[in-house]
Chain A
Amino acid sequence: MTLAVFLTLAVASVVFALLMVLTKNPVHSVIFLLLTFFAIAGQYVLLNAQFLAVVHIIVYAGAVMVLFLFVLMLLNLNTEAEPRQTARWKVAAALASGMLFLTLLGALRGSAQLPAPEVPDPHVGLVRNLGRVLFTDFLVPFEVAGILFIAAMVGAVLLAKREIR
């Protein structure tokens, strides 16, 4: 049962990802990416990573994708057609990514033998648990992330501001 769910979600995410990459219309790309994100969120739920699933939806689907759509509308890109790529280029890219895929697989092969506890802990992924780890072991990175956000915000605002003539 679980396997079936997993497979469905997996196939869905791959299909939507491919469609996102291959479609010409940027708006369609955004939509497909959104759908991919939902599939991945489903995977998170399957993995009992509750907090992650929710944050994923809120941040990515809710914020980042909306941002993308805003920019699309701003730049009025939905009617634009991209200039075509040469076939050679596509082949090279496919080759590169294919090789990368094989390499990654090869590199990560041994990771299945990592020492795993007999009984998996079901509490990993709960908000309480994550919160505790976050605010104790990872406090400093947490604070630094805050600074990162400030920098990003300031930067984004500055960048997007119109020049005062």
Chain B
Amino acid sequence: MLDVVRSVPIEYYLWLSCILFCIGVFGVIVRRNALVVLMCVELMLNAVNLLLAAFSTYLSDAQGQILVFFIMVVAAAEAAVGLGILVMIYRNTHTTDIHLLDRLRN
């Protein structure tokens, strides 16, 4: 059952994780819809989770998976709250375009 350790070098997981992470970064920067941005953030978190799980298996250390667990906790909480904020903003400005939310200016 652990022939994944034998057959797939850890570098592959590394690459995969990094690719997913950077796609997520790209998405956060490029997309203007707040919802999609939040989804890209979830993608980034998942990339990290994947890598952590991979290392945990390869090094036979459970701590990696525990950390994944906690990351999921936080991600879920953050998604909830983030969406709540998004709904509020939409109610006030009737748009989800993040480029229009520039009250930080000046």
A and B touch in the complex (CB under 8 A): yes
A156 to B12, CA, bound (A): 38
Within 8 Å CB of B38, what residues of A? 68
Q: How far apart are B31's CB and chain A's nearest CB, in angstroms?
A: 7
Within 8 Å CB of B32, what residues of A? 82-83, 85
Within 8 Å CB of A137, what residues of B? 63, 66
Contact between A36 and B22 (Cβ–Cβ < 8 Å)?
Answer: no
Give A13-55 interface residues, CB cut-off 8 Å to B: 13-14, 17-18, 20-21, 26, 29-30, 33, 36-37, 40, 43-44, 46-49, 51-52, 55
Within 8 Å CB of B21, what residues of A? 100-101, 104
**Chain A residues at the B interface, C-beta cutoff of 8 Å:** 1-3, 6, 10, 13-14, 17-18, 20-21, 26, 29-30, 33, 36-37, 40, 43-44, 46-49, 51-52, 55-56, 59-60, 63-64, 67-68, 71-72, 74-75, 77, 80, 82-83, 85, 89-90, 92-94, 96-98, 100-101, 104-105, 108, 111-112, 114-117, 120-122, 124-125, 129-130, 133-134, 137-138, 141, 145, 148-149, 151-153, 155-160
12 interchain pairs (CB within 8 A)? Answer: A14-B23, A17-B20, A21-B24, A43-B54, A52-B53, A59-B72, A75-B35, A82-B97, A112-B14, A124-B65, A130-B65, A149-B77
Q: Which 10 A-B pairs have the closest CB atoms?
A: A159-B84, A152-B77, A21-B27, A121-B60, A93-B29, A97-B26, A101-B22, A156-B84, A97-B22, A47-B57
Extra contacts, 10 of them, besides A36-B46, A120-B58, A156-B81 (Cβ < 8 A), are A13-B20, A21-B24, A30-B39, A48-B57, A71-B86, A75-B96, A93-B29, A101-B21, A104-B22, A125-B62
**Chain B residues at the A interface, C-beta cutoff of 8 Å:** 1-12, 14-16, 18-27, 29-33, 35-36, 38-40, 42-43, 46, 49-50, 53-63, 65-66, 68-70, 72-81, 83-88, 90, 96-97, 99
